[in-house]
């Protein structure tokens, strides 16, 4: 019985599951730009959540718009082509990213009015594109 339980345990872990996500190969410089942007995204989400928890709803809206919303698009525009992630992504992947910025701006517009309940209802807009892209694509 002992011999049986061990493999079953491993089969049940995510590590054994086949990674069915689409592999996207970006130029190294674009990958590095993206990695930096992603770490900034993490910080920004944490900041917005903390502001919401403190009841600073308008501030949360302002931070979300500036750091994750449509205002945050085009950060890599002035970089060399090889260092710009967007143009090297498949269009559908790029689309998820752009839809994500729009979804954050929807949250931000409501939060900027100070309406906490309505802003809370749109809070998942902050992370839905993160999840959507990460569950569909990988770069390694």
The footprint of ligand HEC (CB under 6 A) covers: 31, 34-35, 38-39, 41-42, 45, 68, 93, 96-97, 100, 129-130, 133-134, 137, 139-140
Considering beta carbons, is residue 114 or 130 the nearer one to ligand HEC?
Answer: 130
Considering beta carbons, is residue 114 or 132 the nearer one to ligand HEC?
Answer: 132
Judged on CB neighbours under 10 Å (0-12, 13-18, 19+), 34 is: buried
Greatest CA separation found in the chain?
A: 62
Q: For strand 22-23 and strand 137-138, is the pairing parallel, antiparallel, or unpaired?
A: parallel
| Nearest distance from C-beta of residue 87 to ligand HEC, angstroms | 13
- 137: enclosing H helix or E strand: strand 137-138
| Nearest distance from C-beta of residue 124 to ligand HEC, angstroms | 12
């Amino acid at each position: 019985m002992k011999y049986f339980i061990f493999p079953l345990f491993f089969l049940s872990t995510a590590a054994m599951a086949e990674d069915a996500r689409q592999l996207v190969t970006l130029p190294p410089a674009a990958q590095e730009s993206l990695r930096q942007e992603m770490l900034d995204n993490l910080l920004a989400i944490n900041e917005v959540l903390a502001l919401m928890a403190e009841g600073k709803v308008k501030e949360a809206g302002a931070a979300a718009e500036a750091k994750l919303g449509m205002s945050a698009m085009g950060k890599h525009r002035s970089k060399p082509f090889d260092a710009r992630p967007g143009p090297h992504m498949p269009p559908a992947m790029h689309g998820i990213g752009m839809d994500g910025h729009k979804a954050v701006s929807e949250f931000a517009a409501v939060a900027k009015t100070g309406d906490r309940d309505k802003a809370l209802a749109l809070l998942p807009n902050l992370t839905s594109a993160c999840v959507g892209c990460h569950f569909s694509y990988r770069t390694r």
